[in-house]
Structure 1
Amino acid sequence: MRLQLLALLGLALTFTTPSSAHEPPGEPGWSFAIHGGAGVLERARMTPEQQADYKAALQRALDAGSKVLKDGGAALDAVTAAITLLEDDPRFNAGRGAVFTWDGINELDASIMDGNGRAAGAVAGVHVVRHPILLARAVMEDGRHVMLSGKGAEEFARDHDLEIVSPDWFATDERRRQLETLKAQNLSALDVEFKYGTVGAVARDAAGHLAAGTSTGGMTGKRWGRIGDSPVIGAGTYADDAACAVSATGSGEYFIRAAVAHAICERVKAARKLTLNGETEEVPLTTEVLQRIVDGVMAEVGELGGDGGVIVVSPTGKPVFSMNTPGMYRGRATAEGLNEVAIFADE
């Protein structure tokens, strides 16, 4: 009954809201969104120069993925184009610039999913692969497994000629300082970092196919081989052409418990179908309905005690964001000309 009500809500909003106010006319074009982590991001903690630097970095990644889509490329290629740039940028907690574990190493996780057939790949606990997102994609394209970890994942990377670097490649002075502060003052990860470090991207290409990817260094001071939601298909990453593509960032344990990415896509799928007199029809999904669904799932994460954010694209309409934190590094672009990056929740 609840799912049918969601579908009815979607239909009602479709007919009562002028479509031109929310959706582009005709067939949907490409759509793209990125994030660089959510958390306690407040203007008082960032200088105007720092804000400008982060926005410029986000714009570069947004432009890289958008160019792929503008040129008729695949959603998967747009996702990896943006994430590889973010993995090389020490401002973000993924790849170079990843946080340190309790033992003073950088431990990397990533996942990717193709909405066209729901193929997926993920890696966890790698230390020498320059681009974990490319390793996750190689696992997906190999097709024998979905998730590899540790030394086995690194052996797989070498077998597939992916770039291997020294562990020192990922280390930065600022991340080392954060770990030292955490240990010296017995603080939590957020006390020294102020945000959940993860990068991600979601895309819809001109052919209507969806893709999502996520990459992270985890949380400062993590121990015992801790793995969050980022490499977990259905929690931090999910894509299904029949529903949506999602990449998450936040308190990973809660996102895993709520199966956030999969939950959003399942509710979208339900909202696109209406059953009357025993017959099921597909109804349009407006951006407004998508936003309500995404906000609803994030509210449930908050009720569990978790926080963070998500980026989502669907088969129609523009990308949406949702967060229950003061900010999230993010950006979105569409074939219709939308192009924006933002940091704070009120932007």
Structure 2
Amino acid sequence: MIKPLAALVAILALFPATLAAQPAAEEAEPPRWSLAIHGGAGTLKRENMTPEREQAYRSALQAALDAGARVLADGGDALDAVEAAIVLLEDNPLFNAGRGSVFTWEGTNEMDASIMDGRTRAAGAVAGVTTVRHPIHLARAVMDDGRHVFLSGAGAEQFATAKRLERMPAEWFATPHRRQQLDDMKAREVSALDVEYKFGTVGAVARDQKGHLAAGTSTGGMTGKRWGRIGDAPVIGAGTWADDRSCAVSATGWGEFFIRAGVAQAICDRVLLAGEGVQQASDTVIAEVAAMGGDGGVIVMSKDGEAVFSFNSAGMYRGRANSSGASEVAIFAQE
């Protein structure tokens, strides 16, 4: 009688050695670096956009994505990549940040921005600036200076002068398209909350090759805003958050609700404290915003370089790239 062990050996001998001891499948390594950007969320429907305008937005998103990706691919810091991407979006009049910012009720352009370093949770933010070409640079300067986190209005402008940041005249920020939006709103005798184009923001989140996270957000605010209104974009914890232990977030949408929900930090807290994945955490918090009556979205970067989007609006200008070769932009919800 053949003993069981001898029989097993005889059977294995019939197969090639490579089949007798198959190694376990290797798990895919996380990307060395990763980047995600957004250009605002809102009522973005394909039928309402000409092919030419759609292509202009896609090209602008890709240019910003490429700018940030180059920094990361060269071994640069996440903070520098976030700035590099946002600067191009601030200079592009298609987006509601920097040049192309929406008008206040009084017919001026007032801009807000914030940035955060996931290594130390150092942060800088500014609100109500009117002459600084790149508000994200001013927010970074506030953070790097270290004495304060949040400056506003005339004081922020004085600080920009002290830091010798580039300034532009009021007419440089204004565009005919944004002026028409304000005129239409006033002609309809409605408030800033009653128009489809009421908000828009740009932002970026990144993970660099050292494993550090950063987030930044910049905006012109809400069309027809009054009384020095400030939304979530410059509010650390609402519109921007970065923590190497969990994730980095930049938000866009109806700022009042994002402030009330503390969206950016709430997402990262769910990741850090409840152990949720970034997609689950993002979807849960955006659902909370929706339940309160708000809309908008977020871009989120995990500590491992997973970049996700979550939004409850018809679309969001967005893109992501990483060291594994991904590079994509999108606008509509179906993409």
- Structure-2 change in CA distance of 1:108 and 1:19 (3 Å): farther
Separation (CA, whole Å) in 2 of partners of 1:220 and 1:19: 53
Aligned match of 1:292: 280
- Structure-2 change in CA distance of 1:189 and 1:41 (3 Å): farther
- Structure-2 change in CA distance of 1:19 and 1:197 (3 Å): farther
User: Are 1:326 and 2:314 matched, yes or no?
Assistant: yes
Aligned match of 2:13: none
Q: 1:189, CA displacement in angstroms?
A: 3.9
- Structure-2 change in CA distance of 1:104 and 1:298 (3 Å): same
**Which letter does structure 2 place at the counterpart of 1:318?**
E
Mark the runs of 5 or more structure 2 residues left unpaired by the alignment.
1-23
User: Are 1:314 and 2:302 matched, yes or no?
Assistant: yes
CA RMSD, 1 decimal? 1.6
Aligned match of 2:233: 230
Give CA deviations for 1:86-106 in whole Å, capped at 9, x if unaligned: 000000000000000000000
Separation (CA, whole Å) in 1 of partners of 2:198 and 2:327: 24
Tell me if the contact between 1:243 and 1:266 (Cα under 8 Å) persists in the aligned partners: yes
Larger mean CA deviation between 239-248 and 163-172 belongs to: 163-172
Q: 1:188, CA displacement in angstroms?
A: 4.3
Aligned match of 2:328: 340
**SS of the counterpart of 1:113?**
strand
Tell me if the contact between 2:207 and 2:305 (Cα under 8 Å) persists in the aligned partners: no
Aligned match of 1:75: 78
Q: What is the aligned-residue identity percentage? A: 68
**Which letter does structure 2 place at the counterpart of 1:176?**
R
**SS of the counterpart of 1:51?**
helix
List, as ranges, runs of 4+ consecutive aligned residues in structure 1 with deviation greater than 2 Å. Answer: 24-28, 187-196
Mark the runs of 5 or more structure 1 residues left unpaired by the alignment.
1-17, 273-284
Separation (CA, whole Å) in 1 of partners of 2:297 and 2:57: 18
Task: Map 1:264-279; keep pairs closer than 5 Å.
Answer: 264-272=267-275
Q: TM-score, normalised by structure 1?
A: 0.87
Separation (CA, whole Å) in 2 of partners of 1:75 and 1:138: 16
Tell me if the contact between 1:41 and 1:194 (Cα under 8 Å) persists in the aligned partners: no
Separation (CA, whole Å) in 1 of partners of 2:253 and 2:261: 12
How many residue pairs align between the two structures?
Answer: 312
Give CA deviations for 1:213-233 in whole Å, capped at 9, x if unaligned: 000000110000000000000
User: Are 1:105 and 2:108 matched, yes or no?
Assistant: yes
Give CA deviations for 1:61-88 in whole Å, capped at 9, x if unaligned: 0000000000000000000000010000
- Structure-2 change in CA distance of 1:337 and 1:195 (3 Å): farther
Give CA deviations for 1:20-54 in whole Å, capped at 9, x if unaligned: 7xxx7235410100000000000111011111110
Task: Map 1:60-71; keep pairs closer than 5 Å.
Answer: 60-71=63-74
Aligned match of 2:50: 47
User: Are 1:166 and 2:169 matched, yes or no?
Assistant: yes
Task: Map 1:192-271; keep pairs closer than 5 Å.
Answer: 194=197, 196-271=199-274
Tell me if the contact between 1:40 and 1:195 (Cα under 8 Å) persists in the aligned partners: no
Q: 1:307, CA displacement in angstroms?
A: 0.4
Separation (CA, whole Å) in 2 of partners of 1:182 and 1:164: 29
**SS of the counterpart of 1:202?**
strand
Q: 1:165, CA displacement in angstroms?
A: 1.2
**Which letter does structure 2 place at the counterpart of 1:203?**
A
Separation (CA, whole Å) in 2 of partners of 1:190 and 1:342: 26
Tell me if the contact between 1:181 and 1:192 (Cα under 8 Å) persists in the aligned partners: no
Separation (CA, whole Å) in 2 of partners of 1:31 and 1:169: 33
Q: 1:319, CA displacement in angstroms?
A: 0.2
Separation (CA, whole Å) in 2 of partners of 1:304 and 1:113: 27
Tell me if the contact between 2:199 and 2:223 (Cα under 8 Å) persists in the aligned partners: no
Q: TM-score, normalised by structure 2?
A: 0.90
